[in-house]
A = this chain, B = another copy of it.
Amino acid sequence: MRIAISTGGGDAPGLNAVIRAAVLSAINRGWDVLGIKRGYAGLLGEDEVIPLTKDTVRGIAHLGGTILRTTNRGNPFHYPIRQPDGTIVEVDRSGELIARAHDLGIDAIITIGGDGSLAIGQRLFECGVKIVGVPKTIDNDVSGTVNTFGFDTAVNTAIEAIDKLHTTAESHDRVIVMEVMGRHAGFIALYSGLAGTADVILIPEIPYDIERVCEKIMARDRAGRHFSIVVTAEGAYPVGGEESSIGDSLPGQERRVGGVANKIAREVQNRTGKECRSLTLGHLQRGGMPTGYDRLLATRFGGAAVRAVADGLFGHMVALQSPHIVCIPIAQVLTTTKRVDPSSDIVLTARATGISFGD
Protein backbone atom coordinates (compact mmCIF):
# COMPACT_ATOMS: atom_id res chain seq x y z
CA MET A 1 0.00 0.00 0.00
CA ARG A 2 1.28 3.48 -0.86
CA ILE A 3 -0.48 6.62 0.30
CA ALA A 4 0.20 10.28 -0.35
CA ILE A 5 -0.45 13.33 1.81
CA SER A 6 -1.26 16.86 0.67
CA THR A 7 -1.85 20.12 2.56
CA GLY A 8 -3.84 22.92 0.95
CA GLY A 9 -5.19 26.38 1.78
CA GLY A 10 -3.86 28.66 4.51
CA ASP A 11 -1.54 27.09 7.05
CA ALA A 12 -2.88 26.18 10.49
CA PRO A 13 -1.08 25.17 13.68
CA GLY A 14 -1.27 21.38 13.85
CA LEU A 15 -0.71 20.51 10.18
CA ASN A 16 2.64 18.95 10.98
CA ALA A 17 1.15 16.92 13.82
CA VAL A 18 -1.44 15.48 11.40
CA ILE A 19 1.30 14.62 8.92
CA ARG A 20 3.48 13.02 11.60
CA ALA A 21 0.71 10.87 13.05
CA ALA A 22 -0.43 9.74 9.60
CA VAL A 23 3.11 8.92 8.47
CA LEU A 24 3.98 6.93 11.61
CA SER A 25 0.65 5.11 11.59
CA ALA A 26 1.06 4.17 7.93
CA ILE A 27 4.70 3.12 8.17
CA ASN A 28 3.98 1.02 11.25
CA ARG A 29 1.41 -0.81 9.09
CA GLY A 30 4.12 -1.48 6.53
CA TRP A 31 2.87 1.11 4.05
CA ASP A 32 4.84 3.62 1.97
CA VAL A 33 4.09 7.33 2.30
CA LEU A 34 4.70 10.16 -0.16
CA GLY A 35 4.35 13.87 0.46
CA ILE A 36 2.94 16.07 -2.29
CA LYS A 37 4.50 19.50 -1.99
CA ARG A 38 2.51 22.76 -2.14
CA GLY A 39 -1.10 21.59 -2.44
CA TYR A 40 -1.29 19.51 -5.60
CA ALA A 41 1.60 21.35 -7.29
CA GLY A 42 3.80 18.33 -6.59
CA LEU A 43 1.56 16.19 -8.79
CA LEU A 44 1.43 18.77 -11.56
CA GLY A 45 5.13 19.04 -12.17
CA GLU A 46 5.28 22.44 -10.45
CA ASP A 47 6.87 21.10 -7.32
CA GLU A 48 8.13 17.83 -5.83
CA VAL A 49 6.73 14.61 -4.49
CA ILE A 50 8.95 13.37 -1.66
CA PRO A 51 9.11 10.20 0.42
CA LEU A 52 7.95 10.68 4.00
CA THR A 53 9.81 8.51 6.50
CA LYS A 54 10.08 8.30 10.27
CA ASP A 55 13.12 10.56 10.02
CA THR A 56 11.23 13.14 7.94
CA VAL A 57 8.59 13.59 10.63
CA ARG A 58 10.83 13.43 13.68
CA GLY A 59 10.31 16.30 16.09
CA ILE A 60 7.74 18.16 14.00
CA ALA A 61 4.59 17.61 16.09
CA HIS A 62 4.96 20.93 17.88
CA LEU A 63 6.12 22.99 14.91
CA GLY A 64 3.79 25.43 13.17
CA GLY A 65 3.43 25.55 9.39
CA THR A 66 3.65 22.47 7.20
CA ILE A 67 6.74 20.61 6.03
CA LEU A 68 4.84 20.03 2.75
CA ARG A 69 4.25 23.75 2.28
CA THR A 70 0.85 24.89 1.11
CA THR A 71 -0.91 27.29 -1.19
CA ASN A 72 -4.23 29.02 -1.75
CA ARG A 73 -3.81 28.62 -5.50
CA GLY A 74 -3.81 25.75 -7.94
CA ASN A 75 -7.23 24.07 -8.05
CA PRO A 76 -6.43 21.31 -10.59
CA PHE A 77 -9.92 21.61 -12.08
CA HIS A 78 -9.43 25.34 -12.67
CA TYR A 79 -5.70 25.69 -12.89
CA PRO A 80 -4.58 29.25 -13.59
CA ILE A 81 -2.22 29.54 -16.59
CA ARG A 82 -0.64 32.87 -17.41
CA GLN A 83 -0.93 33.61 -21.13
CA PRO A 84 1.74 35.37 -23.21
CA ASP A 85 -0.39 38.54 -23.09
CA GLY A 86 -0.40 38.44 -19.29
CA THR A 87 -4.00 37.34 -18.81
CA ILE A 88 -4.83 34.27 -16.73
CA VAL A 89 -6.79 31.39 -18.23
CA GLU A 90 -8.03 28.50 -16.13
CA VAL A 91 -7.64 24.97 -17.47
CA ASP A 92 -8.63 21.55 -16.15
CA ARG A 93 -5.47 19.65 -15.21
CA SER A 94 -7.18 16.98 -13.14
CA GLY A 95 -6.51 14.25 -15.71
CA GLU A 96 -2.81 15.01 -15.62
CA LEU A 97 -2.89 14.90 -11.81
CA ILE A 98 -4.66 11.53 -11.73
CA ALA A 99 -2.29 10.04 -14.29
CA ARG A 100 0.72 11.23 -12.33
CA ALA A 101 -0.66 9.79 -9.10
CA HIS A 102 -1.19 6.51 -10.90
CA ASP A 103 2.35 6.51 -12.26
CA LEU A 104 3.69 7.03 -8.75
CA GLY A 105 1.71 4.02 -7.55
CA ILE A 106 -0.34 6.09 -5.15
CA ASP A 107 -3.25 4.00 -3.82
CA ALA A 108 -4.93 6.70 -1.74
CA ILE A 109 -4.51 10.38 -0.92
CA ILE A 110 -5.05 12.01 2.46
CA THR A 111 -5.92 15.64 1.76
CA ILE A 112 -5.72 18.10 4.64
CA GLY A 113 -7.53 21.34 3.94
CA GLY A 114 -10.54 23.59 4.30
CA ASP A 115 -13.75 23.86 2.32
CA GLY A 116 -11.87 24.60 -0.88
CA SER A 117 -9.49 21.66 -0.59
CA LEU A 118 -12.26 19.34 0.51
CA ALA A 119 -14.34 20.33 -2.55
CA ILE A 120 -11.38 19.52 -4.79
CA GLY A 121 -10.97 16.23 -2.92
CA GLN A 122 -14.61 15.39 -3.46
CA ARG A 123 -14.31 16.01 -7.22
CA LEU A 124 -11.18 13.87 -7.39
CA PHE A 125 -13.05 11.17 -5.46
CA GLU A 126 -15.85 11.39 -8.02
CA CYS A 127 -13.16 10.88 -10.67
CA GLY A 128 -12.13 7.65 -8.96
CA VAL A 129 -9.28 8.83 -6.74
CA LYS A 130 -9.31 7.25 -3.28
CA ILE A 131 -9.51 10.33 -1.09
CA VAL A 132 -9.72 10.70 2.69
CA GLY A 133 -10.16 14.22 3.99
CA VAL A 134 -8.88 15.89 7.14
CA PRO A 135 -10.66 19.16 7.87
CA LYS A 136 -8.61 22.28 8.47
CA THR A 137 -10.06 25.67 9.27
CA ILE A 138 -8.83 28.37 11.56
CA ASP A 139 -12.28 29.97 11.52
CA ASN A 140 -14.04 26.78 12.71
CA ASP A 141 -16.52 27.05 9.84
CA VAL A 142 -16.35 23.48 8.56
CA SER A 143 -19.52 21.63 9.51
CA GLY A 144 -19.77 18.10 10.83
CA THR A 145 -16.93 18.44 13.33
CA VAL A 146 -17.00 20.11 16.76
CA ASN A 147 -13.89 21.95 15.71
CA THR A 148 -10.56 21.42 14.00
CA PHE A 149 -6.91 21.89 14.91
CA GLY A 150 -5.61 25.43 14.68
CA PHE A 151 -8.77 27.00 16.04
CA ASP A 152 -7.81 26.60 19.69
CA THR A 153 -4.37 28.09 18.96
CA ALA A 154 -5.92 31.05 17.16
CA VAL A 155 -8.35 31.64 20.03
CA ASN A 156 -5.53 31.52 22.57
CA THR A 157 -3.43 33.93 20.52
CA ALA A 158 -6.41 36.30 20.37
CA ILE A 159 -7.02 36.00 24.12
CA GLU A 160 -3.37 36.76 24.89
CA ALA A 161 -3.63 39.82 22.66
CA ILE A 162 -6.80 40.97 24.44
CA ASP A 163 -5.04 40.52 27.79
CA LYS A 164 -2.18 42.71 26.58
CA LEU A 165 -4.49 45.38 25.18
CA HIS A 166 -6.53 45.42 28.36
CA THR A 167 -3.71 46.76 30.47
CA THR A 168 -2.89 49.51 27.97
CA ALA A 169 -6.54 50.43 27.41
CA GLU A 170 -7.16 50.68 31.14
CA SER A 171 -3.97 52.63 31.88
CA HIS A 172 -4.72 55.17 29.15
CA ASP A 173 -8.57 55.35 29.32
CA ARG A 174 -8.79 54.19 25.73
CA VAL A 175 -11.10 52.19 23.50
CA ILE A 176 -9.20 49.52 21.57
CA VAL A 177 -10.80 47.69 18.65
CA MET A 178 -9.13 44.39 17.78
CA GLU A 179 -9.86 42.54 14.56
CA VAL A 180 -9.60 38.77 14.36
CA MET A 181 -10.19 36.28 11.57
CA GLY A 182 -13.68 35.13 10.59
CA ARG A 183 -15.26 36.31 7.38
CA HIS A 184 -18.46 34.33 7.60
CA ALA A 185 -18.19 32.78 11.04
CA GLY A 186 -17.50 34.75 14.21
CA PHE A 187 -16.21 31.89 16.38
CA ILE A 188 -12.76 33.33 17.05
CA ALA A 189 -14.20 36.72 17.99
CA LEU A 190 -16.89 35.16 20.18
CA TYR A 191 -14.67 32.66 21.99
CA SER A 192 -11.75 35.01 22.52
CA GLY A 193 -13.96 37.96 23.36
CA LEU A 194 -15.89 36.05 26.01
CA ALA A 195 -12.83 34.35 27.53
CA GLY A 196 -10.87 37.61 27.33
CA THR A 197 -13.78 39.57 28.88
CA ALA A 198 -14.16 42.03 26.04
CA ASP A 199 -16.94 44.60 26.37
CA VAL A 200 -18.27 44.43 22.82
CA ILE A 201 -18.11 41.52 20.35
CA LEU A 202 -19.04 41.99 16.70
CA ILE A 203 -19.61 38.95 14.47
CA PRO A 204 -21.05 38.41 10.99
CA GLU A 205 -23.93 36.39 12.44
CA ILE A 206 -25.25 39.43 14.37
CA PRO A 207 -25.14 42.66 12.34
CA TYR A 208 -24.29 45.60 14.59
CA ASP A 209 -25.60 49.11 15.06
CA ILE A 210 -22.68 51.47 15.73
CA GLU A 211 -24.95 53.56 17.92
CA ARG A 212 -25.50 50.61 20.26
CA VAL A 213 -21.76 49.96 20.36
CA CYS A 214 -21.18 53.56 21.42
CA GLU A 215 -23.95 53.37 24.01
CA LYS A 216 -22.26 50.43 25.68
CA ILE A 217 -18.91 52.24 25.74
CA MET A 218 -20.43 55.40 27.19
CA ALA A 219 -22.45 53.45 29.78
CA ARG A 220 -19.17 51.97 30.99
CA ASP A 221 -17.61 55.41 31.00
CA ARG A 222 -20.39 56.78 33.20
CA ALA A 223 -19.87 53.83 35.55
CA GLY A 224 -16.23 54.82 35.99
CA ARG A 225 -14.84 52.27 33.54
CA HIS A 226 -13.18 54.69 31.16
CA PHE A 227 -11.84 52.08 28.76
CA SER A 228 -13.41 49.43 26.57
CA ILE A 229 -12.26 46.53 24.45
CA VAL A 230 -14.10 45.76 21.21
CA VAL A 231 -13.34 42.46 19.46
CA THR A 232 -14.57 42.27 15.89
CA ALA A 233 -14.50 39.50 13.34
CA GLU A 234 -13.17 40.63 9.96
CA GLY A 235 -16.59 39.82 8.50
CA ALA A 236 -18.67 41.87 10.95
CA TYR A 237 -20.95 44.37 9.23
CA PRO A 238 -23.54 46.96 10.27
CA VAL A 239 -27.29 46.40 10.23
CA GLY A 240 -28.50 47.21 6.76
CA GLY A 241 -24.99 46.67 5.42
CA GLU A 242 -23.97 43.76 3.30
CA GLU A 243 -22.10 40.66 4.27
CA SER A 244 -18.92 40.07 2.32
CA SER A 245 -19.95 38.22 -0.81
CA ILE A 246 -19.58 34.47 -0.53
CA GLY A 247 -17.61 34.78 -3.76
CA ASP A 248 -14.40 35.78 -2.05
CA SER A 249 -14.15 32.55 -0.12
CA LEU A 250 -13.27 30.63 -3.28
CA PRO A 251 -9.99 28.77 -3.03
CA GLY A 252 -7.14 30.68 -4.56
CA GLN A 253 -8.28 33.95 -3.13
CA GLU A 254 -6.71 35.81 -0.33
CA ARG A 255 -8.29 37.53 2.63
CA ARG A 256 -8.03 41.27 2.99
CA VAL A 257 -7.58 42.29 6.56
CA GLY A 258 -7.57 45.25 8.87
CA GLY A 259 -10.22 47.47 7.36
CA VAL A 260 -13.03 46.65 9.74
CA ALA A 261 -11.22 47.48 12.98
CA ASN A 262 -9.97 50.77 11.56
CA LYS A 263 -13.40 51.80 10.42
CA ILE A 264 -15.07 50.97 13.70
CA ALA A 265 -12.39 52.71 15.76
CA ARG A 266 -12.77 55.85 13.68
CA GLU A 267 -16.54 55.85 13.98
CA VAL A 268 -16.48 55.27 17.73
CA GLN A 269 -13.94 58.05 18.24
CA ASN A 270 -16.02 60.47 16.18
CA ARG A 271 -19.21 59.64 18.02
CA THR A 272 -17.93 59.36 21.58
CA GLY A 273 -14.93 61.68 21.59
CA LYS A 274 -12.96 58.94 23.35
CA GLU A 275 -9.44 58.09 22.26
CA CYS A 276 -9.66 54.96 20.10
CA ARG A 277 -7.01 52.64 18.69
CA SER A 278 -7.28 49.61 16.43
CA LEU A 279 -5.17 46.50 15.98
CA THR A 280 -5.39 43.66 13.50
CA LEU A 281 -3.98 40.31 14.56
CA GLY A 282 -3.70 39.03 11.01
CA HIS A 283 -1.17 36.30 10.39
CA LEU A 284 -0.24 36.01 14.06
CA GLN A 285 -3.38 33.88 14.43
CA ARG A 286 -2.33 31.12 12.07
CA GLY A 287 1.35 30.82 12.89
CA GLY A 288 3.39 29.35 15.64
CA MET A 289 3.30 26.31 17.85
CA PRO A 290 -0.06 24.60 18.25
CA THR A 291 -1.61 24.47 21.72
CA GLY A 292 -1.83 21.14 23.50
CA TYR A 293 -5.44 20.81 22.43
CA ASP A 294 -4.52 21.28 18.79
CA ARG A 295 -1.51 18.99 18.95
CA LEU A 296 -3.73 16.26 20.34
CA LEU A 297 -6.63 16.79 17.95
CA ALA A 298 -4.31 16.97 14.94
CA THR A 299 -2.60 13.76 16.04
CA ARG A 300 -5.96 12.03 16.48
CA PHE A 301 -7.02 13.19 13.00
CA GLY A 302 -3.81 11.88 11.45
CA GLY A 303 -4.22 8.48 13.08
CA ALA A 304 -7.90 8.30 12.18
CA ALA A 305 -7.24 9.23 8.55
CA VAL A 306 -4.94 6.21 8.15
CA ARG A 307 -7.53 3.95 9.75
CA ALA A 308 -10.11 5.38 7.31
CA VAL A 309 -7.83 4.45 4.41
CA ALA A 310 -7.40 0.95 5.83
CA ASP A 311 -11.16 0.65 6.20
CA GLY A 312 -11.76 1.88 2.65
CA LEU A 313 -13.79 4.88 3.79
CA PHE A 314 -12.96 6.98 0.74
CA GLY A 315 -14.82 10.17 0.01
CA HIS A 316 -15.05 10.57 3.78
CA MET A 317 -13.60 13.11 6.15
CA VAL A 318 -12.50 12.49 9.74
CA ALA A 319 -14.35 14.65 12.25
CA LEU A 320 -14.56 15.28 15.98
CA GLN A 321 -17.90 14.45 17.53
CA SER A 322 -16.74 14.55 21.14
CA PRO A 323 -15.53 12.38 22.58
CA HIS A 324 -15.28 10.36 19.38
CA ILE A 325 -13.53 10.72 16.06
CA VAL A 326 -15.93 9.69 13.30
CA CYS A 327 -15.90 9.56 9.50
CA ILE A 328 -18.54 11.45 7.51
CA PRO A 329 -19.07 11.84 3.75
CA ILE A 330 -17.27 14.90 2.38
CA ALA A 331 -20.24 15.59 0.11
CA GLN A 332 -22.42 16.03 3.17
CA VAL A 333 -19.93 18.40 4.81
CA LEU A 334 -19.84 20.65 1.75
CA THR A 335 -23.58 21.34 1.81
CA THR A 336 -23.38 23.72 4.76
CA THR A 337 -21.03 26.12 6.46
CA LYS A 338 -20.93 26.22 10.24
CA ARG A 339 -21.75 29.59 11.79
CA VAL A 340 -22.32 30.93 15.28
CA ASP A 341 -25.83 30.21 16.52
CA PRO A 342 -27.08 33.47 18.11
CA SER A 343 -29.21 31.45 20.51
CA SER A 344 -26.37 29.19 21.66
CA ASP A 345 -25.36 29.09 25.32
CA ILE A 346 -22.13 30.95 24.55
CA VAL A 347 -23.94 33.98 23.16
CA LEU A 348 -26.49 33.83 26.01
CA THR A 349 -23.74 33.75 28.62
CA ALA A 350 -21.86 36.55 26.90
CA ARG A 351 -24.96 38.73 27.00
CA ALA A 352 -25.69 37.70 30.58
CA THR A 353 -22.25 38.85 31.73
CA GLY A 354 -22.86 42.24 30.14
CA ILE A 355 -21.18 41.92 26.75
CA SER A 356 -22.85 43.84 23.92
CA PHE A 357 -23.11 42.46 20.39
CA GLY A 358 -24.06 45.90 19.13
CA ASP A 359 -27.60 44.79 18.45
Contact = CB atoms under 8 A, between A and B. Distances in A.
Interface of A: 10-11, 13, 15, 17, 20-21, 24-25, 28-29, 38, 61-66, 69-72, 146, 152, 155-161, 163-168, 170-173, 176, 191-192, 194-197, 277, 279, 282-284, 286-289, 291-293, 295-296, 299-300, 302-304, 306-307, 321-325, 344-346, 348-349, 352-354
B152 A287 contact: no
A88 to B, nearest CB: 15
Contact of A172 (B11, B159, B292): B11
Contact of A325 (B28, B64, B345, B352): B345
A172 B70 contact: yes
9 contacts: A10-B172, A11-B167, A13-B167, A64-B167, A65-B167, A69-B170, A155-B293, A279-B283, A291-B291
A279 B282 contact: yes
B195 A287 contact: no
B344 A323 contact: yes
A88 B29 CA distance: 46
A14 B212 CA distance: 31
A65 B170 contact: yes
B171 A61 contact: no
Q: How many copies does the complex hold?
A: 4
A17 to B, nearest CB: 8
A192 B258 CA distance: 24
Given A21-B353, A322-B322, 6 more contacts: A24-B353, A28-B354, A63-B167, A158-B292, A164-B283, A303-B345
Nearest to A160: B288
Contacts of A10: 172
B292 A156 contact: yes
Nearest to A168: B287
Given A283-B277, A345-B304, A292 B152 contact: yes
A247 to B, nearest CB: 21
A165 B353 contact: no
A66 B115 CA distance: 41
Contacts of A11: 167-168, 171-172
Given A349-B21, A349-B299, A164 B284 contact: yes
Contacts of A72: 172
Contacts of A25: 349, 352-353
The 4 closest A-B pairs by CB, nearest first: A303-B349, A164-B287, A65-B167, A64-B167
Contacts of A306: 352
